[in-house]
Structure 1
Amino acid sequence: MTEKRRGWEERLLGSRNARFLDKNRAEFIQRVTMVMPLADELLSLGMLHEETYSKIKAANTSQEKMRELFTALHCGGDRVKSAFYRVLERLEPHLLQDLGKRIEELQSLIVKYKQSTSSQYAYVTEYNSLPGEHVLLASRYTELLIIQTHREQSEREEEICTKGERFFSARDSEKYSNITVDQFFCPDDHGLIPKAVVLQGNSGNGKSFTAQKIMLEWASGTVYTDHFDFIFHLKCKEINQISGEKSLVELLRYSQSLTPAQISQILQHSPERVLFLIDGFDELKLSQDNMSNLSPPLDVQTPASAESTLKALMSGHLLPESFLLVTTRSTATDTLSKLLKKQPQRFTEIMGFSERGVEEYFQRFFKDDQLLRTQAYEHVKANETLFTACFIPVICWIICTVFRQRHKGGIETTSSLETTTSIYVDYVSTMLDHHCQGLSQSVPSLLRSLGQLAERGMMEQQVLFNKKCVTNIVSDPTSNPFLCKFLCKKKIRQETMFSFMHLSFQEFFTALYYRLSLSETTWLKFLSPEFIEEDSRKLDLLPVIQFLCGLSNKEVSSSVMEAHCLSVSPNIREQLEEWILKFIEDRDIIMQDTSLFILHCLYELHEEDFVRKAMESWEEIDLSRNPLKRTDCWVLLYCLKCCPHIKSLSLTHCSITVEKLKILQPALRQCKELELGVENLSDDDVGVLVSALGEGKDLRGLSLDYSALSDQSVQQVLNALSKQTAVGYCSITVRTVTTYTAFMLREFLLNQNGKGDIRSPETDEQLDALLFFLCSVSGLRKVHLKVRKLTRSWSTMIFSLMPTCSSLQHISSPEFDEQVEALLNFLHTVPGLKKVELKLNILTESWAARILSFIQTHPSLRPVSLTMAKSLACPFPITGTPHGRGGWCHKVKEEFDEQTNALLSVVDSIPGLKRVKLNVIRLTESWASRIISLIQSCTSLQDISFKAGSELDGFLLEEGIRLLQHSQKRPDCTLTVEGMRCSKDTDQCTEDERWSPKDCNRIVKLQFHGESLTVLD
């Protein structure tokens, strides 16, 4: 037991001695002089190899010998280190005692330095801080996205051009795996610890904030405690102010709480435990002559110019054992790489915030007001442009500061935050005031050159610029805080490329260029309809017009224009207002569905008198089929508030949720005519809808899709409808059809003189209840019945409904062929039937014969609608069928020709047929050929209507349009074609892209009459 205990104590003592050696390695290297006697004894004890002993003996100085010996100690582990300690204790006992005292003094010095550093870096002064104002760094700092991989050119282009959630989702991918600051000096894949780490990033991305955070966390014992006894923070902006020759010790004295003697002692005795944090290398005034011709100082006490001393430190001429962490803008990395000689190196890129980081920043900023934080974040997230720009920490700070000031000023925080332009102007002003010191270029010249570069890129659809292009326009681009610089590989060489931080900044600087231009011809062409019509790709320039409107607001522009004495175009605001009024008069002059774009322009102008004038001349606003984002709703609300009486507003198929309805609620009440569609309405939200509807308006339509309302909620909605002057149509989805529901619907239909469109639920019991009451509704014209299976019993019930509702003219069939057969048998006995919709799984020649027979026995039947239940790219209307892809699509295409021929065989055989309506997913050359054949073979045809897609979201391919235009057609037959027409060359879209509408597509309506082609409004 005694032997075991003795062995345990020896191992514990050996481990303690080993840790003492490791922790004070630098002191031992400097102080031990009897290196060879130590090595001799270790060799005799078998603790050293002959080869290692020879290396120690060959070293020139005692320090070099000790470094070789420590390498051997490290390889030998605690056993060899403990043996070394015992030999040293015997050979130099006073040294260990002296070292113990010095180590205690050093530890005391470290503690005091950390305490001083902690208090110095605990607070941060913000850009707008008044004297004495500051905030805790810990309450503001948010983790940033830092990567250690060089991004490809295509990755940079894609990030610059994407917005919103798609922008941030790319940053969350595995290829952008985050590296944290505590991992900067961890071993690399080869086990090597980097001697120098470069943290590069764009202006305002948080480099200096991160440097301050590192200093604070090191002082608090959170990071680098095992790596470094001291971290010295050198700010290049401050070094620029130092004149004359200074030694490294004197340079450090300017920003540290230590005395020169203490600094000298630290640097001489433990340089491998020292980290130099060089912050803002791009701001260092370092000429080419300084870089190449200055003589480096010989040691830490030798005076030299600040540039020369810093160069010696980074190149390794001074303190080669020390470590470096350098922060710099990306524009200065090539200059830094020429100076930085320490190896190995680690290059990292600070990319700003991830999406989670943006949300966390808002949480920290508004930590004492959760409601305000939620309002601010949700508001910004709804604005795709602003939300994307929030990856830049400075933008986040500006937005949060503005939002808080508005709240303190008593401004309603649920109203619009600020125009997008105003935030970008604040950003530019902040950069000019705090990140542009020492630029050789004046501010007016700087902004105009940036604008010229931006405009060139917009016109050429370019977001990356080569070095020659940039240097020809922008003076000293490497010092420009608004540009990013990176290297990309071109085969066997490297190429320097520049870009703006994001496409939205390029759009902003383009608008600023027009605003600063004294020549009207520069920007007047930009507002010309013909300019965009020449090349529809110029539609990408529309965001520039919105920024231009924002810059024309007096209050917004004055903050940057007056502050920097910028001369601006005198008439641009008047020209913009005139152009907007003309646009409102004829909104289709450039493209369709431009209403939302104009509303955003008015919002960015933010001049209430003009907005009121523009809105008063805008009698009808139709935003149907434009999915509205929350920011669109704020914009619409602002514009509608400026004009208290809107004649007509249509908001159907706009993805209006309850949250968006709450935003629009004050404005909707004042509309005289309204058509509204709301999605996913619940019982709790009905009050919002009732308030938005108000009273006494012409409600042209109300659609409550995907809702699940109870009887009580239906009653509330119907009561609100009864208070309107007129009601066009109403589509309500209910949770279940009860007797009371049916009764309410009956009463409503009776009050509406039978003008109703009833779509039933799916269960037989609910249908039975509904059908019972429908039989008593006079004047009912249209019923949609959906049953799980059409049986003989159900057919009898439907047939019994028809004589009761003598005006019933419209029957929709179920989806299954055998059920359609049962329905047709009963329809043969219905007198006066005028409209039938037949939904088939597949149209065969046999079915075509049945349909033809049915039509011939009902001469008054017009029209007949054929719908395929499971088809996609088929020659029939598609109702409620999602656009699918994959193998199922290919199967449908194989059946395409057979079904098309079956359809034409029906059409060709109908005597006296005058009108045909076709709904097809897209107009192809094949379909165009069939249409021409139909015109030629069916001589009674007078009108053919062709629509691509169920909601005009299908495509009109150029191949089909060309064939229709150049083929011979009868002059007495009019062909109308509607759908999405791609404004790009067809080979620029992938197959997948053609399936869904993009910004580069527009809805068109083409009319062919004989040989003529007319584009209808």
Structure 2
Amino acid sequence: MYSKGRDDVEPEPSLKSAKLEKKITDFLYNIFNDLENKMIVFIKHELEMFKKLLKEKNTKYYGEVRDDLWSIKEAALDMALYFLKMMEHNDLADALQDALIGFQQCALKSNLCKKYQHVWEGIAKQGESNILNKIYTDLYITTGRIQQMNEQHEVRQIEKQRTSVKTEENQLDQEQQIKCKNMFEPLSEEDKPIRTVVTQGVAGIGKSICVQKFVLDWTEGKDYQDIKFIFPLPFRDLNLKEKEVCSLRDIIYHFFPETKGMRFTNRYKVMFIFDGLDECRLPLKFHENEKWTDPSMPASLDTIMTNLIAGNLLPSALIWITTRPAAAAKIPAEHVDRVTEVRGFNDEQKVEYFRKKISDESLANRIIEHVKGSRSLFLMCHIPVFCWISATVLEGILGRTESEDIPQTLTEMYTCFLIFQTVQGDKKYNRKYASDIPWDKEGILSLGKLAFSHLEKNNLIFYAQDLEDCGIDPNNIKVYSGVCTQETGRFLGTVFSFVHLSIQEFIAALFTYVCVRNENKNVFELPEESKETKVIDLLKITVDKALESENGHLDLFLRFLLGLSLESNEKLIRGLLTNSGSSSDCQKDIVGYIKSKLEQNPSPERSINLFYCLNELNDDSLVKEIQSYMSSGRLSEAELSPAQWSALVFVLLTSEEDLEVFELQKFIRSDECFKRLLPVVQEATTALLSECNLTDRSCSVLHTVLSSESSKLTEVDLSSNPLQDSGVKLLCTGLKSPNCNLEKLRLSDCSITEEGYAALAEALKSSHLIELDLRGNDPGASGVKQLTDILQDSKLKTLR
């Protein structure tokens, strides 16, 4: 048998364990030696890069770093900064940070410049790009007090405030014109820095363009160079991260990867721009979210946003938020330092826009002349999007013909706009040059279904599923690019919208009209409840629904629907209609129905919209009646019905006459007339009301005007009216309002006694009055003393 030799003897267990331990130790020693060498090489390499960065010899290195290496390179930078400060070389540590910041800023500016230098309006011609700086026209922006939520329908708001865009010298103290570049600069009377600005304005008024211009000027080194970083973060992009838990640093790195490694320090001024608060889906629970101060610590997006806006996170950062008026109240007033409003174009800026947009000077002049000739169209051009629509349509029509057969009403303008975009789209995508309008009936109706269903829900933003639900292939939406926009975020999904709310309203009205004309279908009813409906019945139903709407969201939709029922407009859309004949025979009936609604004395805003509806129907009978009354001098209270009162207001508000001075004696000298004409008074800066038999009833009405946030009155003459003390007390309530800007008040011969003088003395403490006329009253000695005692504590300069 084989026997083991000496060498075959197994070692003792302790010896075996010691050998294994030595082997492992040697292995770890070699690994860590190798690790040490690699770390030393890495640190040496990073330090070499830091030296090159300081000498401005390394401009690409940090731009080429892979995402998975950023954390280790940040650690190397942290080590370098720590040891430099420990060595008391703080200046060198700061210089290193500045060098890295400078590189990151340069990369961010380059990317933002590429993104923001172009602007698209509808279908751009083949090979043509619109440069923002080439067509940009300054917008009229005002700054004033923090406003409450405003739910007025946007187009109606523009029309009602038609005189609100004024020259700078006519602005009231609390509402001043401001340039975009001065958005964060304190006014002369403001003693604290501006950190958070909320800019509001209706859809299409130019808020996003204002942001785009602001950012572009920064990237090109023109303005705001004290700001190191600007981060534009539209809410529609943030929405798609609403359920994520992340840090502020993660958010910035995600949307702006070129800034990875950025140090969050108060040494650098940073601005965040949150565009489109009205599109925000976050709850923004300012008073419920916990306080958060660390930009590197993760939290819910809502917590990050509320703490950033409130100033807990990065308290030195500037915050700029844009929004439609109805959503402004989402930000608590205590977190807002300034409210500004984009008012769009004033009359001079409208003309400037057309001259920049239309390169042919002669054609531009003809377009301007035509638009000015239609008061309604000229009013709508306060909104830049309307200027673009008008320029698009009129350039095509006036550029090829001298015909006077050009759009005169809003419905005509929008119908021609849709036709233009349809023809352009057909040429671009189908390569066809049809002699007639190449309507894609199925596509238009699908688009109309989308517009109508979401108008009812007050939705302005759609997703792919919304389009598919209406039979639209999201991949083919480019065919409708003249009326729809498609936007894909840098790292997010795709959203769709109409180029402007009014485009959505028009296409919704077109869909509604085609359905009732072709199928006798009432789109307001559910399919299972739908019954045969005549055109006149649908028009009446829509009038009622518009009058019932709390915020007037169907007002413009109604005007378009009524306008489409005219034979002249029916001819333009005949390619979409299958039934022969015309609905023009219902024009007389719907005009009568609208007049009956006016007789019911709706609110002034509703009345004005109904008159615009009559305009769309080419009916001006009520307006002519009032003009006849005014020109003949036969205007008297007894002869005016509620509808005629509304017509009078409409005529005054839409006339070419300047409404700065309102003189009641030109109308009817009574409390009732003053009350009826209140919408006109609200547009004036001077109200001449002397010798008009006014009582304390008018003082009650006037008090509401003076107390209004939109009050424009600076001078009121109430002389020779029996106001008595009761009326003066009501007036004084308005004078004490912080919104009141009245400077001159005449109350001579108004039957005021000691009691009224006491009320005036109290009101003078806080009013802006500099001139007061009280001749012909009977205050007694005590009344005079009370008034004169307060003179030194008031702003009054002249007392009669």
What range describes the TM-score normalised by the shorter chain of this pair?
0.3 to 0.5
Larger strand proportion of the pair: 1
Find the structure with the greater CA-based Rg: 1
Q: Which has the higher contact order (CA 8 A, sep 6+)?
A: 2
* Superposition TM-score, scaled by structure 2 size: 0.46
Normalising by structure 1, what TM-score? 0.37
